[in-house]
């Protein structure tokens, strides 16, 4: 049936009529197609009389649909849709054709433009004939706003919304709100103090009941649509609770770390725990931490090395030992035998040498042992449940220590006559003297831990017998004490002693028949210890046979070097094939090897060389190729085992398959290190405590995110010029024939020196000084990162601006000469709470500058540097700053190199005039070429384009008026909110004139510098406007959702499922019962991807159906 | 019917391609031209297509072309289909023979003025002769229905089959089909014997309505068949004079066009089948049931004359032979095996294949580019080959009709019936 | 050939290239008047059938413009357009449509100068190619 | 009074016409329902007979318009009969003869007449093969029975709907099961199908195809001569180019059931514009990769798309080559 169409062509003053012959189009259209009931043209269709034309025609002629040819639909489509709906026509029976931006404005050739405009109108007419009346759905609006950014724009928007009674969540990246303005001293043109205008606002926001401020947080993800956003916010920890902290500031002076302050723009340093200025909101302190430092991340036990090194540097040895003991109970033992992974990743190592973390820990442990004390955290109140620990090795003892602190009665059962496990029987005395070990073990006994040696678990006691005695939980820490067999002929001959057995015999002073010539098989630490022990037990010749080459040896380099110094010979690429002798070992046959392809562990697999067997006389052979668990003991435990015969223990909780039984250390890990065993002990203790207190397994808390490894400029500045301390050692001669300790240990001065070398790269080193100092106990260093989910109705993006990096103009010398500063740094100089307390002095020598040169447009209006726009505010900033400078020293002289003085605001020009007349500032029109030092003073060479000649000005201080740029992390915000940005990174507003605070996404608004460089009045105005937009949404209470979503025609859909995979919002699913695709309208965004892909065209997006678009194509090309 | 102006016999019933016979005065004499007015050139359809599509494209020329094209693909990819696939293809071929011959016989039996007598509905006595004729047409249609069902089971559908693909057949048969196929084979044999009987006794014999078919005759022509993939040529007397592989076809058989017919003529190059006898169209030869029949020489045919009734008898003999072979081929064990297809690895550049279809010898040759697109195709099939013989039959029928001064419609009927059989 | 004015249909995505087109108009960049714009919500909404419809209805060239990969308002709509463009180009080549007549371009909201340049360059190259049929 | 019908075949392979013969045998005597006035293939009726007939009720027309005589017959039949039915893909969409249009439209090769007497002249070859439906002399056919060849059951549905006025025996219910709702009701009530009705389903072949559909993720093209699973999973999902997703259903997935990919002989589904464009759109949207180089590699493996997507529908539905 024919549709009655009304066509209206707008002249838009001369914008369209200037090139497009609107009259000609109007009457040609009226004559050419018959279903056009009326075709008019008018000067301003979007004006009230224009819209009235349409409304009257609809009423009188009963038009079915209307085509409007004028400007872009993005501008006036809503206007005309309202006009037609007021006249009773469904708004979707309207089609808008853009003949201004796409026709009249882009062409100088009138008839081509007219032809194009007419084609587009014809396209619109044939499209509108296929339009269907549609009704949008109404969805409720969540009456809560999210303001991203706590600057002046964000604060204004938040106050507008909160004062209207709606909930506001303000998200701020820094520790305080206030944004850039907080750093200013005075504001132009009225010279009133920035602080005085800002702080009332920030405190009002601070204590406003409807506003919740989330500092140190950023938007992670936004889903949903206008009025129904779901926002995920990631909040970094402040470590100081905002309720308890009174802001007294006692904690600040005791903090040992000094870092450069971003708030002071590099002019001063601050402590990680600090508050930028007294009136800051939130008024409490907060701690800046870059994340888990590399050394702490690398340490299996997670010992806070940065903490205790800095404390040692300050001479606070007891506190340092307390920090160590949080994660490592046996400081003295660890300081001697740990393989110190922390030192290999220490950032100081990238500058000169890493810190001697391990040896310093030994000094702390030895100092306490020397005093005979044992300081440990107070034992908690005793608990009834008894815990049995099997094996008194490092894992068992560390579990005993931590359980004792928790207050559990602990009994440790040890098969051998001595406690200490591998520490006692695996590591010879010259590395770990027996008395140090026993002292540390006795400390445990002092805590009430009962250690029963000579009791074999499985034979003397079993699970059942101990359960009968009231033991509720068990920890298996039996380690790996058997040495792997060589599996070659003659291994059972007399004179063949296993590696671990030899060390055990030596430690327990049992007779170990060692011949004159000893051959050790293997390349690990056990082999090296056996070799050095045999030398000390009188062997003349000790040869270590290893089947790979030197690089692949698993033993630590320092150990191998020491062995070589002591005379141990090494035979690489050799492996034993036969041990010859009748009853008693006499000769060993070995074969040459060569390295082939790397195996899956990455080490090159050795292959024997045929026919290279050689025979050698030998008295004793010591196979030390790996440790294994005691087979009959492990199998009797009836817990599940891993492939290599170690006990299967769950990651993190260390629970075995038998409830209440936990396992850790070498017996679960396989041959591992002392520090890993201690770490397992602590984890087992936590699991047992949780198991006994609550039952079941403890939840694993995520560890702190590690910081990045690159060395920053700030860290380089903090590196004190102290070389690494050398560990004094016993001379080779004195080592012969005895087991005295080789390393002699650090003195107090050496440890303190090492402590002061630390860069404290994680900023706050969690040393705990501030915790001890804080009266109201407001500081909790255990706080972790949190993600919060918010239901939000409207979002205001007020992320503000950043300052152009003046270093990109090397010719101006910023960073090379200390007296060349940016205008933000000058602002800090004038600020009373700034680094110089408000006195304008030269950063280099603190003298009062007599002549100051301001250089304008640094990083603005400069296409070469990629910032072509004008930053609007720097001319006025320089004018204000030079007048402040004149107040401070009236006889000073200010020069300003400018291109065009931009003073567009209210009272701006008058203020500028005054600086020129009263403050006698000399304005020189021209760009500056170079700033250089000559004869002790800075010289600014530029040109005076009015005089047409170069000019040089001597200056005590140079201030660069750096331009405003978008925030460095704008891409993260853009991606999270799905907003588009221009090439500089400023967010794109929906229309430069009509919608400066709206974006193309309904429900998301912009305010302040995020939308482009502007001054404070404009930011405040935009903040208010954005607030009003949000309030409009909340007051209406519901929002109409566009009906342009996709729908499936069941009659045509064949169920071929092409569409199901395509939807990014998985709004499309295949329903089995009605054998057709199903689209969930709430999720569908109407992008039409599935409609285009549907092979039978069964899916249509309302208002963008194929029928309509085909008709439009036909209309245009007809 | 007078001699002077041209007469046209149009349209001719039951012909595959639309054709007509124009009789033109030729200085006192008459010349009859058999003109084919519409023709689908396979080159238009196949050039530019992917080569593996040939079996389904060429199947519109005749169902047998589907099997010939499948064999062409086997040669191109040089794969040997597994035995059960060969059996399934042969089984389909057998049923296609039945379908084609029974369709021709049914058209032969159609009563010119009442092709669809409806004995059940109309009350008036149809007369004994009409009733008998209808029952005979009924048996032929019954046999044709069964043959079509067999072709549908084996080939996907009876008219444009689908299942023969490169390297074998596209799928196994369902279980209950095997039993159905054996039933069809037995029923077909029984029906075909009955049909052959009443054709021989009632129709083709002395007083029979189709006796007129033996009146017109042409002199015998060489024949050609495809046996075991080679093309065997026999001279007029039926003696084998030579055989050549399909690749040699361009040297042995030439295809040329005449201005007065869209349908090209395929003829043996001179010397291929004995000395040139100087007829109007040299090298005419014959394929089809007649060509196949000689080597068995079951029925008595005078080797001096060639009449449509000989062709009809040859077709009936062919029917019986095929039906017998079907009974032993349509058994479950022939169609059950591990694989129905050997997957081709690499593709050649050119291939030729020959197949003995129901209507006679089909030779296909194709060249392919790197991506497997058909660059050129040569098709030599019964439609083109028998064109020459059919022209001669048409001339003989018109001449005999004029000689005996028969009416226009009478000549037209004989013409149609005789052309139908070649 | 001088008075031959090619007719080019351009499918512009509502969030990026249509905004760029408006901005190009607002900043008065001079563009050839051969391009007729059809606004679609995403370049993924452009069905190859529309491109064929345009060519068969008399268009001499078709341009589909969408957001840069990663910037799509609907997350991956432009990726679907990218996938279709290659196969559609092959189909059009087989049907005798010259290479330069169908183009897929990424034009961000801020790249209005690039939009004008693409329009002018495309109009010129299609003018060289001459009328479609 | 029995309706007068004509059954005619233009250029094509006559398989659709033999289907009519099979109907006669399979169903019941055709002339119980109708009076066959013009059927050259079986009755030998000539063009002169056609001129004599003044009015026909229904004409079943199969075969494409490739020569002058086809066009003349088609125009005359259109004038003389109330309902013109296009039977088979050739009449409906141009069928395989339409592939001839892919070559440059050769001017009608004038046969080298030489001394040929005028009356032996053959009918002119059309420069383009056209479908019956939409050839300029005939604006729109009244009904279409698609398929190559047109299946017996749908032809019988058309015959019983148009000729038997709904009293046909139970067979119609079998055919009706495949036809869309809107067509079956008027047929059963004797009114005959709505004008321009297509005797086939409305969905695509996938609706009735017996193969299992899991997820459409297109990794690489696989040619039918390569190895693929002949039973079970959907052929397109295995990489074969099967046009079942963009072809009207009615055949019940006959080809895919037999393990060979569909080639679209039932024409494009009702709501689409161009089958080739829809195949390109549907398959390429589900390409596995998003890297341009890899997409290009997959796209270049699609060979002879025009010959494959428009095999049976080039003259009627290939919008760019239709001319």
Q: Is the pLDDT of residue D111 over 50?
A: no
Looking at per-residue pLDDT, the higher value among A140 and B296 belongs to A140
**A1060 and A1020 part of one domain:** no
**B238 and B143 part of one domain:** no
CATH assignment at residue A390: 3.50.50.60
User: Å from C42 to nearest chain D CA?
Assistant: 14
**B201 and B337 part of one domain:** yes
**B170 and B243 part of one domain:** no
Distance CA C5, CA A18 (A): 22
Percent with pLDDT over 90 in chain A? 32
**B359 and B311 part of one domain:** no
Please tell me the total count of domains within chain B.
2
SS3 content of chain B, % helix, strand, coil (to 5): 45, 20, 35
| Mean pLDDT in residue range D67-77 | 89
Domain residues for the domain of A19 are: 5-136
Q: Is the pLDDT of residue C110 over 90?
A: no
**What is the pLDDT at residue B281?**
67
User: Which residue in D203, D215, D269 is closest to A1061 by CB distance?
Assistant: D215
Q: Quick check: is A889 in a domain?
A: yes
Q: pLDDT tens digit string along D263-302?
A: 999 999 999 999 999 999 999 999 999 899 999 999 999 9
Q: Quick check: is A256 in a domain?
A: no
Q: Quick check: is A786 in a domain?
A: no
Q: pLDDT tens digit string along A623-664?
A: 888 887 777 777 777 788 887 778 888 888 888 888 888 888
Full set of structural domains in chain D with CATH: 4-198 (3.40.50.700), 205-317 (no CATH)
Of A678, A704, A730, the position where a domain reaches its end is A704
Q: Quick check: is B182 in a domain?
A: yes
Distance CA A1077, CA A1057 (A): 7
Q: Is the pLDDT of residue B303 over 60?
A: no
The first and second tokens of residue B389, run together, are 């013989």
Q: pLDDT tens digit string along A835-870?
A: 888 888 888 888 889 999 999 999 899 888 888 899
Q: Quick check: is A596 in a domain?
A: yes
Residue from B210, B419, B196 nearest B322 by CA: B196
| Mean pLDDT in residue range B155-182 | 91
Contact D281 A1095 (CB under 8 A): yes
First-to-last alpha carbon distance for chain B, in angstroms, is 26
| C-alpha triplet A125, A129, A133: angle, nearest 5° | 125
Identify the CATH number of the domain defined by range C8-129: 3.40.50
Q: Quick check: is B23 in a domain?
A: no
Residue A179, C-beta contacts closer than 8 angstroms, at least 6 positions apart: A149, A150, A151, A152, A153, A154, A800
**B241 and B365 part of one domain:** yes
**B228 and B120 part of one domain:** no
DSSP at D230: S
ipTM associated with this complex = 0.90
Distance CA A448, CA A20 (A): 99
**B208 and B120 part of one domain:** yes
Q: pLDDT tens digit string along A390-423?
A: 888 888 889 999 988 888 888 888 888 888 888 8
H-assigned helices in A757-873: 769-773, 823-830
Percent with pLDDT over 70 in chain B? 90
Q: pLDDT tens digit string along A114-136?
A: 999 999 999 999 999 999 999 98
Chain B partners (3+ C-beta pairs within 8 A): D
**A162 and A210 part of one domain:** yes
The pTM score is 0.71
Average pLDDT of chain D to the nearest whole number: 85
The first and second tokens of residue A218, run together, are 């950023």
State the pLDDT confidence band at D246, using cuts at 50, 70 and 90.
very high
Q: Is the pLDDT of residue D33 over 80?
A: no
Beta partners for B35? B20
User: Å from C26 to nearest chain D CA?
Assistant: 34
Of A855-864, B2-11, B168-177, least confident by mean pLDDT is B2-11
Please tell me the total count of domains within chain A.
7
Measured CA distances, A933 to A502, A675, A813, A818 (Å): 73, 56, 9, 11
Q: Quick check: is B186 in a domain?
A: yes
Chain A environment of D272 (Cβ under 8 Å): 1095-1097
Interface probe, candidates C12, C17, C23, C47, chain A, greatest A C-beta count within 10 A: C47
Q: pLDDT tens digit string along A158-185?
A: 999 999 999 999 999 999 999 999 999 8
The rounded radius of gyration (Å) of the Cα atoms in chain A is 40
Q: C127 and chain D: CB distance < 8 Å anywhere?
A: no
State the pLDDT confidence band at B125, using cuts at 50, 70 and 90.
low
| Mean pLDDT in residue range D3-10 | 91
Q: pLDDT tens digit string along A923-960?
A: 999 999 999 998 888 999 999 888 889 999 999 999 99
**What is the pLDDT at residue B422?**
83
**What is the pLDDT at residue A1015?**
92
DSSP at D304: -
Q: Answer positive or negative: Cα dihedral of B91, B97, B103, B106.
A: negative
Interface probe, candidates C29, C30, C41, C43, chain A, greatest A C-beta count within 10 A: C41
Average pLDDT of chain B to the nearest whole number: 85
Q: Count of C–D CB contacts within 8 Å?
A: 81
Q: pLDDT tens digit string along A487-545?
A: 888 888 888 888 888 888 888 777 777 888 888 888 888 888 888 888 888 888 888 88
State the pLDDT confidence band at A204, using cuts at 50, 70 and 90.
very high
Q: Quick check: is A642 in a domain?
A: yes
Nearest chain D residue to A1072, by CA: D213
Q: pLDDT tens digit string along A335-351?
A: 888 888 888 888 888 88
What's the gap between Cα D97 and its chain centre?
12
A116 touches C33 (CB < 8 A): yes
**A408 and A522 part of one domain:** no
Q: Count of A–C CB contacts within 8 Å?
A: 148
Nearest chain A residue to D248, by CA: A1096
| Mean pLDDT in residue range B373-384 | 93
**A498 and A638 part of one domain:** no
Percent with pLDDT over 70 in chain D? 88
Looking at per-residue pLDDT, the higher value among A867 and B278 belongs to A867
Distance CA A544, CA A530 (A): 10
**B84 and B145 part of one domain:** yes
Distance CA A516, CA A530 (A): 14
| Mean pLDDT in residue range B337-357 | 91
Domain residues for the domain of B235 are: 43-79+222-285+347-380
State the pLDDT confidence band at B299, using cuts at 50, 70 and 90.
very low
**A824 and A943 part of one domain:** yes
| Mean pLDDT in residue range D56-76 | 91
**B106 and B213 part of one domain:** yes
Residue from D217, D221, D222, D320 nearest D277 by CA: D320
Q: pLDDT tens digit string along C47-60?
A: 999 999 999 999 99
Chain C environment of D281 (Cβ under 8 Å): 47-49, 84, 88
Q: Quick check: is A886 in a domain?
A: yes
DSSP A984-1000: TSPBPPSBTTTBSSB-S
User: Å from A1088 to nearest chain D CA?
Assistant: 12
| Mean pLDDT in residue range A663-683 | 87
User: Which residue in D26, D41, D116 is closest to B260 by CB distance?
Assistant: D116
| Mean pLDDT in residue range A28-35 | 88
Measured CA distances, B5 to B2, B21, B34 (Å): 8, 14, 17
**A955 and A857 part of one domain:** yes
**A812 and A947 part of one domain:** yes
Strands (E), A775-824: 786-792, 794-797, 801-803, 820-822
A32 touches A125 (CB < 8 A): no
**B126 and B181 part of one domain:** yes
Q: Is the pLDDT of residue D157 over 90?
A: no
For A1014, list phi and psi in degrees, rounded to 5.
-160, 170
User: Which residue in B52, B103, B120 is closest to D18 by CB distance?
Assistant: B103
**A438 and A367 part of one domain:** no
**B188 and B108 part of one domain:** yes
Domain ranges of chain C: 8-129
Residue C107, C-beta contacts closer than 8 angstroms, at least 6 positions apart: C16, C17, C20, C65, C66, C114, C115, C118
**What is the pLDDT at residue D140?**
80
**What is the pLDDT at residue A1?**
58
Nearest chain D residue to A1056, by CA: D206
Looking at per-residue pLDDT, the higher value among A929 and A744 belongs to A929
**B328 and B369 part of one domain:** no
The region, left, alpha or beta by phi > 0 then psi within -120 to 50, assigned to residue B227 is beta
Q: Quick check: is A1095 in a domain?
A: yes
Q: pLDDT tens digit string along B7-56?
A: 888 888 888 888 888 888 877 778 888 888 888 889 889 999 999 999 99
**What is the pLDDT at residue B131?**
66
| Mean pLDDT in residue range A450-468 | 84
* Mutual angle of helices C48-56 and A1106-1117, in 10-degree steps: 30
Average pLDDT of chain A to the nearest whole number: 88
Q: Is the pLDDT of residue D166 over 60?
A: no
Distance CA A188, CA A907 (A): 9
Q: Quick check: is A772 in a domain?
A: no
């Amino acid at each position: 049936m024919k549709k009655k169409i009304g066509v209206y062509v707008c002249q838009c003053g001369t914008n369209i009529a200037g090139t497009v012959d609107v009259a000609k189009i109007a009457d040609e259209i009226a004559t050419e197609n018959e279903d056009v009931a009326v075709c008019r043209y008018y000067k301003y269709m979007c004006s009230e009389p224009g819209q009235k034309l349409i409304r009257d025609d609809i009423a009188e002629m009963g038009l079915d649909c209307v085509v409007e040819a004028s400007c872009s639909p993005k501008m006036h489509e809503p206007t005309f849709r309202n006009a037609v709906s007021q006249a009773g026509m469904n708004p979707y029976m309207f089609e808008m054709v853009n003949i201004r931006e796409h026709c009249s404005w882009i062409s100088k050739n009138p008839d081509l433009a007219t032809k194009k405009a007419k084609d587009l109108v014809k396209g619109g007419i044939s499209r509108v004939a296929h339009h269907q009346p549609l009704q949008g759905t109404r969805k409720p609006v969540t009456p809560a706003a999210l303001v991203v950014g706590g600057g002046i724009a964000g604060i204004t928007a938040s106050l507008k919304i909160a004062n209207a009674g709606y909930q506001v969540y303000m998200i701020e990246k820094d520790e305080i709100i206030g944004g850039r303005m907080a750093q200013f001293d005075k504001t132009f043109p009225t010279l009133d103090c920035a602080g005085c205008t800002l702080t009332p606002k920030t405190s009002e926001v601070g204590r406003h009941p409807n506003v919740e401020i989330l500092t140190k947080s950023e938007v992670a993800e936004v889903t949903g649509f206008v009025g129904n956003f779901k926002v995920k916010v990631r909040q970094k920890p402040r470590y100081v609770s905002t309720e308890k902290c009174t802001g007294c500031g006692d904690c600040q002076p005791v903090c040992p770390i000094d870092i450069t302050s971003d708030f002071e723009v590099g002019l001063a340093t601050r402590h990680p725990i600090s508050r930028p200025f007294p009136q800051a909101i939130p008024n409490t302190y907060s701690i800046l931490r870059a994340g888990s430092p590399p050394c702490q991340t690398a340490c299996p036990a997670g010992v806070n090395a940065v903490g205790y090194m800095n404390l040692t540097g300050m001479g606070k040895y007891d506190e340092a030992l307390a920090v160590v003991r949080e994660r490592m109970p046996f400081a003295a033992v660890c300081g001697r035998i740990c393989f110190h992974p922390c030192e290999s990743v220490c950032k100081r190592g990238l500058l000169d040498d890493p810190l001697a973390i391990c040896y310093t820990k030994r000094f702390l442990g030895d100092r306490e042992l020397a005093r005979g004390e044992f300081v440990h955290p107070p034992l908690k109140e005793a608990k009834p449940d008894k815990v049995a620990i099997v094996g008194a090795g490092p894992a068992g003892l560390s579990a005993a220590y931590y359980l004792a602190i928790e207050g559990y009665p602990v009994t440790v059962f040890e098969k051998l006559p001595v406690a200490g496990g591998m520490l006692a029987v695996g590591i010879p005395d010259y590395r770990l003297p027996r008395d140090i070990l026993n002292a540390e073990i006795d400390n445990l006994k002092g805590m009430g831990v009962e250690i029963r040696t000579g009791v074999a678990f499985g034979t003397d006691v079993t699970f059942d017998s101990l359960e009968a005695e009231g033991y509720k939980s068990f920890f298996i820490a039996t380690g790996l004490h058997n040495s792997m067999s060589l599996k070659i002929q003659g291994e059972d001959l007399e004179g063949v002693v296993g590696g671990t057995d030899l060390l055990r015999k030596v430690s327990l002073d049992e007779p170990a028949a060692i011949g004159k010539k000893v051959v050790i098989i293997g390349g690990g630490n056990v082999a090296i210890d056996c070799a050095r022990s045999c030398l000390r037990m009188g062997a003349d010749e000790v040869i270590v046979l290893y089947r790979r080459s030197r690089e692949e040896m698993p033993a630590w380099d320092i150990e191998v070097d020491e062995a070589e110094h002591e005379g141990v010979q090494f035979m690489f690429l050799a492996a034993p094939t036969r041990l010859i002798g009748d009853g008693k070992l006499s000769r060993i046959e070995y074969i040459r090897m060569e390295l082939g392809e790397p195996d899956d562990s990455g080490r090159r697999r050795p292959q024997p060389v045929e026919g290279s067997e050689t025979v050698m006389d030998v008295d004793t052979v010591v196979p030390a190729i790996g440790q294994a668990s005691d087979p009959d003991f492990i199998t009797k435990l009836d817990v599940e085992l891993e492939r290599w015969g170690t006990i299967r223990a769950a990651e993190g909780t260390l629970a075995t398959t038998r409830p209440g039984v936990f396992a850790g250390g070498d017996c679960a890990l396989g041959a591992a290190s002392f520090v890993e065993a201690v770490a397992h002990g602590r984890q087992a203790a936590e699991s047992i405590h949780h198991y006994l207190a609550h039952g079941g397994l403890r939840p694993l808390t995520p560890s702190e995110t590690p910081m990045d490894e690159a060395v920053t400029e700030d860290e380089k500045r903090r590196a004190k010029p102290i070389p690494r301390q050398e560990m004094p050692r016993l001379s080779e001669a004195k080592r012969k024939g005895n087991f005295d300790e080789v390393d002699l240990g650090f003195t107090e001065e050496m440890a303190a020196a090492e402590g002061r070398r630390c860069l404290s790269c994680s900023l706050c080193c969690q040393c705990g000084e501030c915790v001890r100092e804080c009266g109201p106990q407001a500081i909790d260093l255990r706080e972790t990162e949190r993600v919060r989910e918010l239901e939000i109705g409207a979002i205001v993006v007020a992320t503000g601006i950043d300052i152009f990096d003046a270093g990109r103009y090397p010719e101006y010398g910023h960073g090379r000469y200390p007296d060349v500063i940016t205008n933000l740094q000058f602002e800090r100089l004038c600020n009373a709470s700034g680094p110089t307390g408000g006195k304008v002095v030269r950063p280099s020598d603190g003298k009062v500058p007599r002549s100051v040169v301001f250089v304008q447009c640094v990083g603005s209006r400069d296409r070469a540097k990629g910032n072509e726009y004008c930053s609007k505010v720097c001319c006025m900033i320089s004018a204000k700053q030079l007048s402040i400078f004149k107040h401070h020293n009236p006889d000073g002289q200010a020069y300003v190199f400018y291109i065009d003085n931009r003073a567009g605001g209210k009272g701006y020009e008058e203020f500028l005039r005054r600086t020129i007349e009263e403050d006698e500032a000399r304005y020189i029109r021209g760009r500056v070429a170079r700033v250089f030092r000559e004869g002790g003073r800075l010289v600014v060479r530029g040109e005076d384009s009015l005089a047409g000649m170069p000019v040089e000005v001597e200056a005590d201080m140079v201030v660069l008026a750096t331009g405003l740029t978008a925030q460095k992390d704008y891409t993260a915000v853009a991606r999270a909110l799905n907003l588009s940005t221009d090439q500089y990174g400023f967010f794109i507003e929906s229309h430069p004139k009509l919608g400066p605070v709206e974006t193309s996404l309904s429900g998301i608004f912009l305010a302040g510098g995020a939308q482009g460089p502007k001054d404070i009045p404009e930011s405040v105005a935009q903040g208010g406007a954005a607030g009003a937009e949000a309030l409009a949404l909340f007051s209406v209470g519901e929002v109409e959702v566009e009906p342009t979503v996709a729908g499936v025609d069941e009659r045509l859909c064949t169920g071929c499922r092409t569409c199901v995979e395509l939807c990014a919002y998985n709004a499309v699913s295949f329903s089995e019962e009605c054998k057709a695709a199903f689209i969930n309208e709430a999720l569908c965004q109407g992008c039409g991807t599935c409609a285009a892909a549907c092979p039978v065209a069964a899916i249509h997006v309302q208002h963008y159906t194929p029928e309509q678009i085909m008709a439009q194509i036909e209309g245009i090309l007809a | 019917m007078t001699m002077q102006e041209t007469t046209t016999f149009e349209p001719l019933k039951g012909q595959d391609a639309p054709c007509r016979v124009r009789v033109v005065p030729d200085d006192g004499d008459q010349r009859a031209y058999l003109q084919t007015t519409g023709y689908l050139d396979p080159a238009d359809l196949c050039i530019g297509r992917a080569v593996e599509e040939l079996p389904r494209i060429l199947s519109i020329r005749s169902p047998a072309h589907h099997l010939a094209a499948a064999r062409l693909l086997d040669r191109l990819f040089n794969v040997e289909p597994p035995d059960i696939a060969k059996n399934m293809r042969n089984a389909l071929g057998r049923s296609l023979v039945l379908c084609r011959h029974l369709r021709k016989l049914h058209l032969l039996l159609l009563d010119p003025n009442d092709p669809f007598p409806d004995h059940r509905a109309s009350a008036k006595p149809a007369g004994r002769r009409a009733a008998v004729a209808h029952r005979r047409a009924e048996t032929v249609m019954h046999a044709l229905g069964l043959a079509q069902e067999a072709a549908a089971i084996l080939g996907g559908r009876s008219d444009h089959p689908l299942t023969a693909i490169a390297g074998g057949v596209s799928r196994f048969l369902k279980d209950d089909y095997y039993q159905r196929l054996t039933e069809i084979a037995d029923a077909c044999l029984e029906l075909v014997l009955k049909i052959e009987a009443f054709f021989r006794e009632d129709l083709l014999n002395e007083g029979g309505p189709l006796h007129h078919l033996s009146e017109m005759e042409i002199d015998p022509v060489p024949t050609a068949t495809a046996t075991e993939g080679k093309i065997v040529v026999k001279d007029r007397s039926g003696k084998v004079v030579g055989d050549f592989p399909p690749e040699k076809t361009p040297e042995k058989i030439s295809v040329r066009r005449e201005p007065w017919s869209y349908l090209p003529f395929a003829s043996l190059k001179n010397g291929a089948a004995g000395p040139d006898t100087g007829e109007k169209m040299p090298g005419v030869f014959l394929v089809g049931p007649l060509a196949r029949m000689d080597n068995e020489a079951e029925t008595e045919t005078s080797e001096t004359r060639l009449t449509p009734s000989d062709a009809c008898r040859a077709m009936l003999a062919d029917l019986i032979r095929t039906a017998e072979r079907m009974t032993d081929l349509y058994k479950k064990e022939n169609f059950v095996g591990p694989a129905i297809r050997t997957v081709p690895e690499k593709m050649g550049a050119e291939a030729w294949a020959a197949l003995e279809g129901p209507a006679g010898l089909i030779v296909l040759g194709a060249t392919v580019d790197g991506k497997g697109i058909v660059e050129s195709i040569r098709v030599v099939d019964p439609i083109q080959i028998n064109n020459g013989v059919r022209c001669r039959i048409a001339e003989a029928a018109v001449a005999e009709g004029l000689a005996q001064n028969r009416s226009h419609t009478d000549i037209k009927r004989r013409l149609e019936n005789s052309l139908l059989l070649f | 050939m001088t008075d031959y004015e090619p007719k080019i249909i351009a499918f512009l995505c509502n969030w990026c290239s249509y905004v760029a087109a408006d901005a190009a108009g607002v900043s008065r960049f001079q563009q050839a008047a051969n391009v007729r714009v059809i606004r679609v919500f995403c370049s993924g909404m452009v069905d190859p059938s529309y491109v064929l419809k345009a060519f068969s209805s008399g268009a001499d060239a078709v341009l589909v413009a969408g957001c840069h990969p990663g910037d799509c308002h609907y997350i991956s709509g432009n990726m679907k357009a990218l996938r279709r463009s290659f196969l559609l180009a092959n189909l059009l080549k087989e049907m005798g449509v010259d290479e330069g007549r169908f183009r897929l371009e990424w034009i961000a909201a801020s790249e209005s100068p690039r939009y004008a340049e693409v329009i002018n360059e495309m109009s010129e190259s299609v003018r060289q190619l001459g009328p479609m049929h | 009074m029995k309706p007068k019908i004509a059954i005619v075949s233009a250029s094509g392979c006559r398989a659709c016409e033999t289907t009519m013969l099979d109907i006669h045998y399979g169903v019941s005597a055709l002339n119980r329902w109708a009076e066959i006035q013009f059927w050259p293939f079986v009755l030998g009726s000539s063009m002169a007979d056609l001129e004599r007939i003044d009015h026909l009720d229904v004409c079943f027309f199969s075969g494409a318009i490739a020569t002058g005589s086809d066009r003349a017959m088609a125009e005359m039949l259109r004038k003389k009969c109330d309902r013109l039915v296009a039977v088979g893909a050739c009449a409906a969409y141009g069928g395989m003869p339409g592939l001839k249009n892919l070559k440059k439209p050769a001017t009608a090769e004038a046969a080298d007449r030489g001394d040929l007497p005028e009356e032996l002249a053959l009918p002119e070859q059309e420069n383009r093969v056209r479908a019956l439906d939409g050839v300029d002399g005939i604006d729109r056919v009244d009904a279409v029975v698609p398929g190559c060849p047109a299946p017996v059951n749908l032809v019988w549905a058309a015959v019983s709907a148009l000729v038997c006025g709904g009293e046909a025996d139970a067979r119609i219910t079998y055919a009706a099961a495949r036809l869309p709702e809107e067509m079956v009701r008027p047929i059963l009530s004797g009114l005959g199908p709505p004008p321009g009705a297509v005797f086939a389903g409305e969905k695509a072949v996938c609706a009735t195809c017996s193969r299992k559909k899991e997820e459409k993720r297109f990794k690489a093209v696989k040619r039918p001569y390569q190895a693929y699973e002949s039973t079970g999973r959907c052929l397109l999902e295995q990489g074969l180019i099967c046009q079942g997703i963009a072809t009207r259903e009615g055949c019940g997935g006959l080809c895919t059931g037999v393990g060979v990919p569909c080639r679209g002989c039932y024409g494009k589904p009702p709501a689409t514009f161009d089958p080739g464009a829809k195949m390109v759109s549907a398959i390429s949207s589900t390409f596995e990769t998003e890297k341009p180089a890899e997409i290009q590699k997959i796209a270049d493996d699609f060979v002879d798309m025009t010959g494959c997507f428009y095999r049976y529908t080039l003259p009627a539905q290939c919008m760019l080559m239709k001319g």
